[in-house]
C-alpha cells in the first residue's frame, strides 16, 4: 500500500514552500504511483484528498521559483481532478495572485483538452459520498457550469476560444457522454454508481440557457445509443429523472424542442411525465396552455410522445380536454392573442390525430359539448382568422366524433394556413417509411394504364373526326345556296338605358332580367357622365341601390353596385351622405347593408379628397411638359393653358432647365362635405335599437364604424372641419377605450393615428390638451397590457408620434 508514502510526500510538499520544487516533484510521483496502485481517483481516502487539495493550494500560492515549470502543471493535470479545478479557479479569483491568470488559463485549457472534466464527473459519480458534502458538490457543480463566466471575467478580452460558451458546453456534453459510457460499462460489470451529479450538471447547464450547445452534442449520441440498448435507455431515463425539480422545465423543454421525432423523445424521456410531477406540469400545462411560442414540430413531438405509451395516453386525453376547455371558453377567445388561439387549435388537431376510435367514444359527449360551445364563440369573433380557426377545429372534431353521420362543413377559403392546419389531422408517417422502390412504381403505373384505355374504349372521345373527303361523296355542295349579308351578326349587347330615370325604372319595376343586368353594369358610367341629371334623383337612386338585391347571378354584382353607390355619393355628396348616414342608424337594415353604407362613405370620401386635375389616372414620375397639349374640358384648365401660352410666346428662354413636374392640384372637394360624412356617424352609436345594438352584440359593425371614422379622419386632412372632427373623435375613442373586442380596439388606435396626422399640431395642443393627455396615458396602458400584439404596436407608434409632434413644436420658432 502506497498510502503512507503518499501521505508523507504530500505533507512535505504542502508544508515546505522553500523546498517546494523538489517536494512537488516527489509528491507528483507519489500521487501518480498511488493512483496507479489504487486504480482510480475514487480509491483515495478522504484524508488523502484533503492533503492533495492542500498541496495544490500551496503550489498555487508558491512563488514562481518554487514551482518548477512543467512539473506544477502536471500536478494539476494528473492529480485528482476535483480539487485541481477548485484550486485553479480559486487561484483565478484571488485578488493578489501569485499565479498569473494567463498561466491558470493555460492549465485549465489543458485540463479540458485532456479530458479531465469527464474524469472529474466520473470521480464524483463513483463515490458520491466520498466526493464531499452536498455543499462541496454544489460548489463543484457551480464551478463546472460557470467556468466560462469565471474565466472570461478574469481574462476579459484575452479569453481563449475553448472557454467560449459555444465551445465549452459541447465539450462538457462530450465529457458527459464519456461518463455515461463509463457508467454503462460499470453497470454491466455489476458495479453500482450514481448518475445524479451528471443530472445536476445537465440541469444547471440547461437552466443557464445552454440547451442548444449541450443537447446538440448529447441528444444525437443518446438517440443512437438508446436505439436498441435497454441499459442505455434506463441510464437515459435516470439521467432525466434525477434532474432537480427547479431545473426540470429547462431540461424537458430542451429535449422536446430538439428531438427529431416523438419516438426519440419517448426513448430518451421514458415515462418521466408520469413519474415526475414537475415534468408533468411542464408538458401538460405550461407548454400547451401557458406558452404559445413553440413551433408546430414541438407540439407534434410533445403530443406524439404522450400518445406513444399506454400510461401516458391517459394524459393525452386529459390534455385534450383541457385544451378544448380553453378553446371553447368565450373569455379566452375574446382576450387571448390570435397567435395563442392558433397554437391551441393546432394542439387540438394534433391530439385528435392521435386519438383512437375507442378513446373518442369514451369522451364523445364532452367533445361534442365543447365543440358546440367553442364554435359559437369563435364564429362570434370579429377577426376572420379566429372565425376560420373555429370552423376548422369544429369540422375536425365533428369528423372525428361522427364517423358515420353527417359532419359539420363550413365554407372558407383554402389557403396555405388552412392546409397546414388540416395536414396536422393526418399523423405524420414515422421516419422509417421507406420510399417505394422504383420497380414497384412502374408496376403500379402499368396496372393503371389498361384502366385508362378501357375507359377510353367505352365512351367515344369527343375529338372531332376530320371529315373524310373520300367518304364524303357530296359532289353537290352548299354552293348553290348564296349566303346573305351577315356582317350585322355581332355579339349581342343588351341595350342599356341611356337616362338615369330609365335606370331607376329598370332597377325597380322591370321584370326583364337582361335589362336589369345591363342597367346595373351601365349605371356607374351613366351617373358620372350626367351629374346634373343624377342630382335631381340622387337620394332616390341611393335608396334604390342600398336596397338592391342580386336578382340574377352576375359577376361582380357587389362591386358594381358599390361603384354605382360611390358615383352617386360623389356626384351629390351632401344629400346622399345625409341619407346614408341616417339610414346607418335606422331600423330594419341588415348588418351587411350597414357595412355597405360605411364602405361607400369611405370610398366616396377617398375619391373626393384626391386631387383629380388629370382625370382619374394619377401619374407619377417622369418629367412632363409643363403645358398640357390635350384640350381639357375643364374651363379652368383652358384658362391655364391660354396664360401659359401667352407667357411662352412673350418669353425668350436662353436655357431650358430641367422641366419641373407639375403636381396634380385641384380643389379638395371633400373640404366642404367632410362634416356631413363624419358627424352623423359619430352621433348615435350609443343608442341601441331593437334590431341593432352597436355596443352589444353587433360589435363587428362597431369595429367597422370605428375603422371608417379613422379613414374619414385621415382623409379630412387640410379641411376646415378637421379640428372639430378631431375633438369629437377623441371623445368617441375615450368612451370606447376599454372595449373587449380586438377589432374595435385596433380601430380606435387607428383613429388616434389618423387624428394625429390630420389635425394640425397647434390645434391639437390648444383645443384638446386635456383629452390628449388622457389619451396618452391610455396608450401607455395599452402598450403595456393589451393582449394583442398589433394593438400594442399601434399604441406604441401613436406614442412615438405624439413625442415627435411635441418635439417638432418645441423646435419650431413660436
Binding residues for another protein, rule: CB under 8 A, are 459-465, 467, 474, 476-478, 480-486, 488-492
Closest distance of CB 473 from another protein, Å = 11
What does the alpha-carbon distance between residue 692 and residue 682 come to, in Å, rounded to a whole number?
15
Helix (H, G, I), strand (E, B) or coil at 307: helix
Nearest in space to 342 (alpha carbons), one of 304, 400, 381: 381
Q: Which is nearer to another protein, 463 or 812 (CB)?
A: 463
CA 205 centroid distance within chain = 28
Give the nearest distance from C-beta 457 to another protein in angstroms: 11
Give 513 or 667: the residue with its C-beta nearer to another protein: 513
| Separation between Cα atoms, residue 791 and residue 771, nearest integer Å | 20
The residues, any chain, with a CB within 8 Å of residue 203's CB and separated by 6 or more, are 243, 244, 246, 247, 248, 250, 251
Shortest Å distance, C-beta 523 to another protein = 23
DSSP alpha helix (H) spans, 156-195: 165-188
Kindly give, in sequence order, each residue whose CB lies less than 8 Å from that of residue 447, ignoring residues fewer than 6 positions away: none
Question: C-beta of 512: minimal distance to another protein in Å?
Answer: 9
* Residue 464 or 657 with smaller CB distance to another protein: 464
Sign of the dihedral through C-alpha 628, 633, 638, 640: negative
464: left (phi over 0), alpha (psi -120 to 50) or beta: beta
**What's the CA gap between 153 and 328, in Å, rounded?**
52
Residue nearer to another protein on the CB measure, 228 or 487: 487
For 143-160, b/e burial (b = at least 16 CB within 10 A) is bbbebbebbbebbeeeeb
- Of 54 and 554, nearer to another protein (C-beta) is 554
Least CB distance to another protein at residue 514 (A) = 9
| Tally of CB atoms within 10 A around 687 | 11
Cα separations in angstroms, 273 against 103, 284, 309, 344:
47, 9, 11, 20
Tell me the closest approach of the beta carbon of residue 385 to another protein, in angstroms.
38
Least Å from the CB of residue 598 to another protein: 39
Q: Which residues of 530-559 are buried (b: 16+ CB within 10 A; e: fewer)?
A: eeeebbebbbebbbbbbebeeeeeeeebee
Please give the angle made by the CA atoms of 787, 792 and 796, to the nearest 5 degrees. 160
| φ, ψ at 250 (rounded to 5°) | -65, -40
Cβ closest to another protein, residue 135 vs residue 474:
474
Least spacing, CB of residue 485 vs another protein, in Å = 4
Residue with smaller CB distance to another protein, 69 or 485: 485
Strand, helix or coil at 637? helix
| Closest separation in Å from C-beta 487 to another protein | 8
Q: How far apart are the first and last CA of the chain?
A: 96
By C-beta, is 138 or 512 nearer to another protein?
512
Question: Whole-number minimum distance, CB 494 to another protein, in Å?
Answer: 10
Least separation, in Å, of the C-beta of 464 and another protein?
4
Name which of 192 and 489 has its Cβ closer to another protein: 489
What minimum distance in Å lies between the beta carbon of 474 and another protein? 5
d(CA 210, CA 192): 30
Closest by alpha carbon to 84, among 133, 44, 119, 38? 119
The minimum distance between CB 404 and another protein, in angstroms, equals 23
Nearest residue (CB) to another protein, 439 versus 488 = 488
Which residue's CB is nearer to another protein, number 461 or number 656?
A: 461
Residue 237 C-alpha from the chain's centroid: 33
User: What's the min distance (Å) between Cβ of 495 and another protein?
Assistant: 10
Looking up cell 503550489 gives 59
Rounded Cα–Cα distance for residues 693 and 698 (Å): 6
Nearest residue to 603 via CA among 576, 557, 575, 566: 566
Residue the block writes with cell 348615435: 684
Shortest Cβ 466–another protein spacing (Å):
9
C-alpha cell at 36: 496507479
Cβ-based nearer residue to another protein, 426 or 471: 471
Which lies closer to another protein via its Cβ, residue 486 or residue 663? 486
Q: What is the DSSP letter of 40?
A: S
Torsion of CA 765, 766, 768, 770, to 10 degrees: 80
Question: Of the two residues 434 and 475, which places its CB atom closer to another protein in the complex?
Answer: 475
Asked if residues 499 and 521 have their Cβ atoms less than 8 Å apart, the reply is no
Q: Could you say which DSSP state residue 44 is in?
A: S
Q: How far apart are CB 422 and another protein at their closest, in Å?
A: 29
Between CA 457 and CA 579 the distance in angstroms is 66
What is d(CA 309, CA 311) in angstroms, rounded to the nearest whole number?
5
Q: Which residue has the cell 396618452?
A: 776
Q: Do 769 and 726 meet the contact criterion of CB atoms below 8 Å apart? A: no
Pick the closer one to another protein by CB: 413 or 480.
480
Minimum CB distance to another protein smaller for 439 or for 476 = 476
The total number of residues written for the chain in this structure: 814
Residue closer to another protein by CB (options 404, 479) is 479
d(CA 752, CA 761): 13
To another protein, the closest distance from the beta carbon of 505 in angstroms equals 18
Residues 84 and 769: their CA atoms lie apart, in Å, by 70
Q: Among residues 464 and 696, whose Cβ is nearest to another protein?
A: 464
Give the cell for residue 554. Answer: 352576375
Amino acid at each position: 500500500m502506497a498510502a503512507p508514502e503518499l501521505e508523507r510526500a504530500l505533507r512535505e510538499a504542502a508544508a515546505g514552500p522553500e523546498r517546494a520544487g523538489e517536494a512537488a516533484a516527489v509528491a507528483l510521483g507519489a500521487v501518480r504511483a498511488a493512483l496507479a496502485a489504487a486504480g482510480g481517483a475514487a480509491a483515495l481516502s478522504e484524508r488523502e484528498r484533503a492533503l492533495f487539495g492542500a498541496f495544490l493550494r500551496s503550489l498555487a500560492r508558491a512563488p514562481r521559483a518554487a514551482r518548477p515549470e512543467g512539473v506544477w502543471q502536471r500536478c494539476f493535470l494528473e492529480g485528482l481532478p476535483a480539487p485541481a479545478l477548485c484550486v485553479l479557479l480559486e487561484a483565478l479569483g484571488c485578488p493578489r495572485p501569485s499565479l498569473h491568470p494567463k498561466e491558470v488559463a493555460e492549465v485549465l485549457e489543458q485540463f479540458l483538452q485532456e479530458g479531465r472534466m469527464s474524469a472529474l464527473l466520473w470521480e464524483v459519480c463513483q463515490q458520491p459520498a466520498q466526493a464531499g458534502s452536498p455543499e462541496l458538490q454544489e460548489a463543484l457543480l457551480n464551478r463546472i457550469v460557470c467556468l466560462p463566466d469565471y474565466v472570461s471575467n478574469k481574462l476579459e478580452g484575452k479569453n481563449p476560444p475553448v472557454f467560449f460558451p459555444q465551445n465549452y458546453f459541447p465539450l462538457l456534453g462530450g465529457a458527459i457522454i464519456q461518463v455515461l459510457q463509463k457508467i454503462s460499462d460499470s453497470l454491466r460489470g455489476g458495479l453500482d454508481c450514481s448518475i445524479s451529479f451528471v443530472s445536476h450538471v445537465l440541469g444547471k447547464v440547461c437552466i443557464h440557457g445552454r440547451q442548444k450547445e449541450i443537447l446538440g452534442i448529447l441528444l444525437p449520441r443518446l438517440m443512437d445509443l438508446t436505439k436498441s440498448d435497454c441499459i442505455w435507455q434506463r441510464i437515459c431515463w435516470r439521467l432525466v429523472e434525477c434532474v432537480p425539480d427547479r431545473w426540470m422545465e429547462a431540461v424537458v423543454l430542451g429535449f422536446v424542442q430538439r428531438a427529431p421525432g416523438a419516438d426519440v423523445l419517448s426513448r430518451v424521456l421514458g415515462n418521466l411525465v408520469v413519474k415526475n410531477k414537475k415534468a408533468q406540469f411542464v408538458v401538460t400545462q405550461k407548454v400547451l396552455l401557458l406558452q404559445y411560442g413553440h413551433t408546430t414540430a414541438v407540439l407534434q413531438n410533445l403530443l406524439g410522445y404522450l400518445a406513444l405509451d399506454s400510461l401516458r395516453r391517459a394524459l393525452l386525453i386529459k390534455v385534450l380536454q383541457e385544451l378544448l376547455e380553453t378553446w371553447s371558453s368565450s373569455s379566452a377567445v375574446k382576450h387571448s392573442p390570435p397567435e395563442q388561439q392558433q397554437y391551441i387549435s393546432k394542439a387540438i388537431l394534433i391530439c385528435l390525430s392521435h386519438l383512437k376510435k375507442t378513446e373518442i367514444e369514451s369522451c364523445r359527449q364532452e367533445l361534442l359539448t365543447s365543440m358546440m360551445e367553442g364554435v359559437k364563440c369563435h364564429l362570434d369573433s370579429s377577426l376572420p382568422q379566429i372565425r376560420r380557426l373555429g370552423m376548422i377545429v369544429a369540422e375536425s372534431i365533428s369528423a372525428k366524433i361522427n364517423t358515420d353521420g353527417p359532419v359539420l362543413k363550413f365554407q372558407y377559403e383554402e389557403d396555405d394556413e388552412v392546409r397546414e392546419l388540416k395536414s396536422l389531422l393526418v399523423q405524420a408517417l414515422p421516419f422509417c417509411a421507406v420510399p417505394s422502390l422504383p420497380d414497384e412504381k412502374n408496376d403500379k403505373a402499368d396496372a393503371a394504364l389498361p384502366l385508362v384505355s378501357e375507359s377510353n374504349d367505352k365512351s367515344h372521345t369527343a375529338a372531332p373526326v376530320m371529315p373524310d373527303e373520300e367518304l364524303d361523296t357530296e359532289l353537290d355542295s352548299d354552293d348553290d345556296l348564296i349566303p346573305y349579308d351577315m356582317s350585322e351578326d355581332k355579339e349581342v349587347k343588351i341595350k342599356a338605358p341611356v337616362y338615369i330615370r330609365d335606370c331607376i325604372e329598370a332597377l325597380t319595376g322591370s321584370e326583364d332580367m337582361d335589362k336589369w343586368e345591363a342597367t346595373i353594369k351601365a349605371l356607374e358610367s351613366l351617373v358620372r357622365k350626367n351629374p346634373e341629371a343624377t342630382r335631381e334623383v340622387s337620394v332616390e337612386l341611393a335608396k334604390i341601390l342600398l336596397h338592391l338585391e342580386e336578382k340574377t347571378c352576375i359577376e361582380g354584382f357587389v362591386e358594381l353596385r358599390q361603384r354605382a353607390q360611390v358615383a352617386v355619393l360623389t356626384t351629390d355628396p351632401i344629400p346622399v351622405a345625409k341619407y346614408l348616414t341616417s339610414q346607418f342608424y335606422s331600423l330594419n337594415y341588415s348588418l351587411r347593408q350597414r357595412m355597405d353604407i360605411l364602405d361607400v362613405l369611405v370610398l366616396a370620401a377617398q375619391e373626393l379628397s384626391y386631387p383629380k386635375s388629370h382625370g382619374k389616372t394619377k401619374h407619377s414620375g417622369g418629367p412632363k411638359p409643363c403645358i398640357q397639349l390635350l384640350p381639357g374640358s375643364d374651363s379652368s384648365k383652358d384658362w391655364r393653358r391660354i396664360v401659359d401660352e401667352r407667357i411662352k410666346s412673350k418669353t425668350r428662354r436662353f436655357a431650358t432647365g430641367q422641366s419641373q413636374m407639375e403636381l396634380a392640384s385641384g380643389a379638395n372637394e371633400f373640404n366642404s362635405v367632410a362634416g356631413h360624412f363624419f358627424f352623423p356617424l359619430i352621433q348615435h352609436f350609443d343608442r341601441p335599437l331593437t334590431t341593432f345594438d352597436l355596443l352589444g352584440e353587433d360589435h363587428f359593425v362597431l369595429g367597422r364604424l370605428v375603422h371608417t371614422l379613422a379613414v374619414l379622419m385621415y382623409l379630412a386632412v387640410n379641411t376646415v372641419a378637421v379640428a372639430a372632427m378631431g375633438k369629437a373623435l377623441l371623445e368617441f375613442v375615450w368612451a370606447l377605450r376599454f372595449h373587449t373586442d380586438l377589432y374595435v380596439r385596433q380601430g380606435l388606435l387607428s383613429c388616434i393615428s389618423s387624428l394625429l396626422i390630420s389635425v394640425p399640431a397647434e390645434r391639437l395642443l390648444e383645443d384638446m390638451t386635456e383629452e390628449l393627455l388622457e389619451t396618452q396615458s391610455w396608450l401607455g396602458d395599452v402598450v403595456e397590457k393589451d393582449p394583442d400584439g398589433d394593438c400594442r404596436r399601434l399604441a406604441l407608434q401613436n406614442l412615438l408620434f405624439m413625442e415627435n409632434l411635441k418635439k417638432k413644436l418645441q423646435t419650431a420658432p413660436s
